Chain A
Amino acid sequence: MDATPTAELTSTPGQHVVEPLQDGGGGHSTSRRPDPLIGIHLCGSTALVWRTADVRAAREAGVVGSLVGALPRQPRQNGRLGRPLQLGLEELRLLLEKQASGDDIESSAPNSEGEVQQAETECYEEEQRSSFEAQSILALEERKSALLRAMGGAKQGGGTSQPDGGVSGRLEVLDQSFVFPRSAVAVQLRTARAGLSHCSDERTLLSAAQPGSSQRAPRSESRFQVFRDLRQRGYYITSAGKFGGDFLVYPGDPLRFHAHFIAVCVALDEQLPLVDVLAVARLGSNVKKTVLLCSPGGPTAPVHYTSLQWSGMV
Chain B
Amino acid sequence: MADPSKTDDSERIFSELLSPSELFAARSRSRKLPVRGQKDFYPSGCAQQKQRLQNSLDEHWELVSEERVERLGNLVRGIWNPSDQIVELQSPAGKFWQTMGFSADGKQCLQPEEALYLMECGNLQVFHRDLPLSIQEGYETFLSSSQLSLQQYQVFGHLKRLGYVVSRFHASLVPSLYERQLNLPPSRDRGANQLKRKRSPSPEATATVASSPRPSEKQEDSSNPSSAQDKATNHSQPSAAQQPPADDDVTGRCWWSDGLVPPEQQQDGGPSPAGPNSRWDFLSIQFPDLGARDTPGPLAPPDPALLPGAMAVGVCSVSSWLRRLNTWREKQPGGKQRRRREEEEERARRRTGPDREVQGCRSWAEYRRIMERRRKGSRRSDSRPAHLWEKDVTPLHDPRQGTSTAELLEKISVVKPSRWADKSCSVEAVGTWQISFDVHQPAVNTEFRKSSPGMPYSRMCVCSFDGPVPALGELQHVSQQSGDVPVTMAVVDHGDISFYTFKHFLLPCDLPQ
Contact = CB atoms under 8 A, between A and B. Distances in A.
Contacts of A117: 129-131
B232 interface: no
**Max chain A Cβ within 10 angstroms of own Cβ: one of B69, B137, B498:** B137
A189 B132 contact: yes
A66 B52 contact: no
A197 B14 CA distance: 13
B16 A192 contact: yes
B211 interface: no
Contacts of B135: 50, 69, 83-84, 189-192
Contacts of B132: 124, 189-190
Contacts of A191: 16, 67-68, 134-136
Nearest to A192: B136
A78 B158 contact: yes
Contacts of B460: none
A245 to B, nearest CB: 10
A212 interface: no
B465 A73 contact: no
Contacts of B30: 73
Nearest to A72: B68
Contacts of B134: 189-194
A312 interface: no
Interface stretch (A133-141, A153-161, A279-287, A303-311): A133-141
Interface stretch (B138-146, B245-253, B326-334): B138-146
Contacts of B131: 117, 120-121, 124
B158 A186 contact: no
B41 interface: yes
Contact of B140 (A14, A37, A86, A182): A14
B42 interface: yes
**Max chain B Cβ within 10 angstroms of own Cβ: one of A55, A65, A79, A187:** A187
Interface in B50-70: 52-53, 56-57, 60-61, 63-70
Given A74-B31, A190-B67, A239 B496 contact: yes
A257 B161 contact: no
Interface in B18-41: 18-21, 23-24, 26-27, 29-31, 33, 39-41
Interface in A129-154: 130-131, 134-135, 138-139
A197 B1 CA distance: 9
A299 interface: no
B119 interface: yes
A197 B2 contact: yes
A297 interface: no
A44 B63 contact: no
B60 A255 contact: yes
Contact of B495 (A14, A73, A81): A81
Nearest to A1: B1
Interface stretch (B71-79, B312-320, B407-415, B418-426): B71-79
A66 B494 CA distance: 6
Contact of A44 (B57, B129, B136, B143): B143
Nearest to A75: B121
Contacts of B68: 72, 188-191
Interface stretch (B101-109, B149-157, B185-193): B149-157
A46 B19 CA distance: 32
B66 A73 contact: yes
A186 B21 CA distance: 10
B346 to A, nearest CB: 68
Given A84-B139, A121-B131, A188 B66 contact: no
A5 B129 CA distance: 33
Given A5-B1, A78-B162, A134-B21, A186 B495 contact: no
A257 B72 contact: no
A13 interface: yes
B43 interface: yes
Nearest to A255: B56
B17 interface: yes
Contacts of B19: 134
B224 interface: no
A33 interface: no
A14 B39 CA distance: 37
A253 interface: yes
Interface string A84-114: 1010100000000000000000100000000
A188 B163 CA distance: 25
Contacts of A258: 39-41
A257 B17 contact: no
A52 interface: yes
A186 B27 contact: yes
Interface in A176-198: 181-197
Query: Range of interface residues on chain B?
Result: 35 or more
A121 B69 contact: no
Contact of A50 (B31, B136, B495): B136
Interface string A204-238: 00000000000000000000000000000000001
Contacts of B150: 43-44, 46
B71 A186 contact: yes
Contacts of B496: 66, 239, 241-242
A239 B67 CA distance: 27
Nearest to A185: B72
Contacts of B342: none
A77 B121 CA distance: 10
Contact of A256 (B14, B23, B40, B67): B40
Contact of A239 (B129, B493, B498): B493
Contacts of B52: 256
B15 interface: yes
Contacts of B163: 76
Given A72-B122, A184-B72, A192-B16, A14 B144 contact: yes
A106 B121 contact: no
B491 interface: yes
Given A82-B64, A134-B21, A190 B1 contact: no
B23 A186 contact: yes
Contacts of A190: 16-17, 67-68, 132, 134-136
Nearest to A46: B150
B16 A51 contact: yes
Contacts of B359: none
A189 B117 CA distance: 13
B122 A131 contact: no
Contact of A189 (B43, B70, B157, B161): B70
Contacts of A80: 33, 63
Contacts of A193: 134, 136-137
A257 B43 contact: yes
A189 B73 contact: no
19 contacts: A1-B1, A5-B1, A41-B140, A52-B64, A69-B120, A73-B63, A79-B33, A84-B135, A84-B136, A124-B130, A124-B132, A130-B20, A184-B73, A189-B67, A189-B134, A190-B67, A191-B135, A242-B496, A252-B40
A-B pairs, top 3 by smallest CB distance, nearest first, are: A183-B73, A241-B493, A134-B20
Given A121-B129, A241-B496, 16 more contacts: A52-B65, A70-B117, A72-B67, A75-B120, A80-B63, A82-B63, A186-B26, A187-B70, A189-B67, A189-B134, A194-B17, A195-B2, A242-B493, A253-B57, A257-B42, A258-B40
